[in-house]
Amino acid sequence: MRQKIRQFPVIFIFLLNLFTIYTWGKEYRPEVGVRALGMAGAFTGSADDATAALWNPAGLAKLKHKSIFVYDFSQGALSFAYPIERVGTFGISILDLNYKDRFIYDKLYNPLGKFEVGYNQITLSYARTIGNHLMMGANFGYNRIPWEDSPWQPSFDAGIITRVKSIFIGGRITDIADTKFYNHEGKPLKNFYQQISIGASWIPSKHISINSDLNAAKRKIRLGMEVGWKGIYLRSGAIRNLNKVETPLGWTAGASINLSGVQLNYAYLNDDGIDYKHLISLGFEFVGIGQKRPRTLGLPKNESQIHRLSPAISHTPRRLQMKSTLKSEVNPTITKTDETIRTHPIKLPIVDNPLKNNSLLEANTALEPQQTSESEAEFNESDNSKSNPEDSETLIVKLGKKYNIELPLILAVIEIESRFKPDNVSQAGAVGLMQLMPVTARELGLRVPMYKDPMNPISNPRLDERFDPKKNIEAGMKFLSKMINKYKKNYVLALCAYNAGPGRVDKNVPTIRETEKHVGRVLNRYYEYQNSPRKMRNALEILNAVLGE
């Protein structure tokens, strides 16, 4: 909460400047983006696709799990956005600034219009999230108008978006220093004046958004709405020009169809001063570097759809092979406190705790047959000659001895659950290094507020102790130790119970595909650490740095 409070002065000063530094002018940069215009251009707070760079570059930071390519046939514009994990989102846009050459307008023999050479803009964009609720972005553009002696001129834009629960508040400045075009003799040819907008969006669910926007330069108020269900989206919007109150209220409408990441957008505009009416664009979605697709599983029609839990960093081969199906009675969202469900029993080996018996690999050959080459054996032998990480006196080693959990398993669970990020929040609402759900954390003695929206927790360790890495680890190890003892040191069942909840484990692996994959990743990483003290030392050093040791 304190972090949010500290953000508000920054946002307030930024928005205050929007009304004190703008320039009144006659001509402004054309607006491009079929989806946004279908909502009357009320997109400053809700910008979240590749064309966000043209409305509020901060919106590109929302594209954490997908890249988007959009081509606007009606406006001669191409936009591309690409997220890179832990770096930010990069974008590029190539535009035709001739806004009088549009779809089914003035060129019936060429209804798509033309991409007029010499009247274009190239924009490079970058955006990223700062903290949990603040997004910032910027554009650098290069522009030219169709005069033979017109040189290229740079342009600069900036934007900001903050989130308060389900409300997004955004602001943007376009053409910060005005974009002025001169010929080689210094004669002015054209000027795109500065535009300033603020907007707010209420997004109560992924199916609906209600948006508002105020363009201070054009003195226009815009309202827009988007409703979507199963790949079909409908939009509408209204525009009020405060400079011409006597003019009729402008309105817009739009629709989209999204099939397997391919999106077709259409918009109809009915606003004073706009001659072209019909807009159309085509977009494509795909996965970015270091990202996974949105965390839903494609399942057969007779099976339920569930959200994936925390993404895994491990890309090791899937040595653990288990086969099952998800029954229709399973709740779509995985939690760690669900009631027991019935599963078909399969035979699984019982594995003794290697603190007492170091032959886990041999005892567990039914799960993971291993073959080690001579070169690997020589490497492991030299690797083992170094100091044993388990001999150190760090907090994690002490807790492992306290709760009778071996170090390789602890490190494997933390890495796969959170990638060693103490502020990691999953889409199921699990938090911290060991991804504790609110109910489970409270049962383990941690202080956790009663959230209306568990996916939007307060990242203050004094208020939500799951964000305290040391308390999170001890609580998680306490719970994991309990599961190991409950299932008589069977690591497969213990890890399933830790991931999906003990209520789902009935002497068997829960019939949830994502749980199977998750347990397989943990065990694969566990075996790697067990076979390579060097890798285990590296992971322990990373974790110790997080813990401040």
Q: Is 338 left (phi over 0), alpha (psi -120 to 50) or beta?
A: beta
The DSSP 8-state label assigned to residue 198 in this structure reads E
Task: Quote the CA–CA distance of 538 and 546 in Å, as a whole number.
Answer: 13
Residue 349: Cβ within 10 Å count: 12
pLDDT score at 81: 94
Q: What is the model's pLDDT at position 76? A: 77
Element (H, E) at 391: none
Q: Return the bridge partners of 286, or none.
A: 67
Segment 316-352, tens digit of pLDDT: 333 444 333 333 333 333 333 333 333 333 334 444 4
Cα dihedral across residues 202, 203, 208, 214: positive or negative: positive
Residue 314, judged by CB atoms within 10 A of its CB (0-12, 13-18, 19+), counts as middle
Give the distance between the most distant pair of CA atoms in the chain: 86
How many helical (H) and strand (E) elements, i.e. helices and strands, does the chain have? 11, 16
The span from the CA of 546 to the CA of 60, in Å, is: 29
Record the tokens describing residue 20, joined without a space.
Answer: 């004190």
Can you state the angle between helices 513-531 and 491-500, rounded to 10 degrees? 130
The CB density around residue 130, as the number of other CB atoms within 10 Å, is 14
3-state secondary structure of 38: helix
Asked if residue 49 lies in contact with residue 71, where contact means CB atoms within 8 angstroms, the answer is: no
Distances in Å between the Cα of 92 and the Cα atoms of 82, 127, 138, 179, 354 are 9, 12, 12, 19, 53
Residue 496 contacts residue 511 (beta carbons within 8 Å): no
End-to-end CA distance of the chain: 27
What's the pLDDT at 321? 40
The answer to whether residues 164 and 133 touch, using CB atoms and an 8 Å cutoff, is yes
For residue 361, give both structure tokens: 């690999």
Given this model, what pLDDT does residue 514 score?
Answer: 75
- Is 393 noted as a catalytic residue in this protein? no
CB atoms within 10 A of CB 407: 24
Which among 226, 285, 406, 417 is annotated as catalytic?
417
Structure tokens at 23: 């320039």
DSSP state of 28: -
Residue 134 one-letter amino acid: L
Q: Which residues contact 353 (CB under 8 A, 6 or more apart)?
A: 404, 406, 484, 489
Ordered by where they begin, the domains of the chain are 2-286 (2.40.160.60), 360-547 (1.10.530.10)
Q: How much is the pTM?
A: 0.53
Cβ neighbors of 74 (< 8 A, separation 6 or more) are: 34, 102, 103, 112, 113, 276, 278, 279, 280, 281
Hey, CA dihedral for 54, 56, 62, 64, is it positive or negative? positive
Residue burial 82-110, b: 16+ Cβ < 10 Å; e: rest: bbeeeebbbbebebbbbbebbbbbeeeee
Find the angle CA(365)-CA(366)-CA(368) to the nearest 5 degrees: 60
**Secondary element (H or E) of residue 477:** helix 469-486
* Per-residue pLDDT tens digits of the chain, which is 549 residues long: 455 445 555 554 555 454 444 444 467 888 888 999 999 999 999 999 999 999 999 999 998 767 788 888 777 788 999 998 789 999 999 987 665 555 444 444 444 444 455 568 899 999 999 987 899 999 999 988 876 667 888 999 999 999 988 899 999 999 998 988 887 778 888 888 999 999 999 998 888 999 999 999 888 999 999 999 988 999 999 999 888 878 889 999 999 999 888 999 999 998 876 666 888 999 998 765 544 444 333 333 333 333 333 333 333 333 444 333 333 333 333 333 333 333 333 334 444 443 333 333 333 433 443 444 444 444 444 444 455 666 667 889 999 999 999 999 999 999 999 999 998 898 888 999 999 999 999 999 999 999 888 888 988 888 899 999 999 999 999 999 999 998 888 899 899 889 888 877 765 666 667 777 889 899 999 999 989 888 999 999 899 888 887
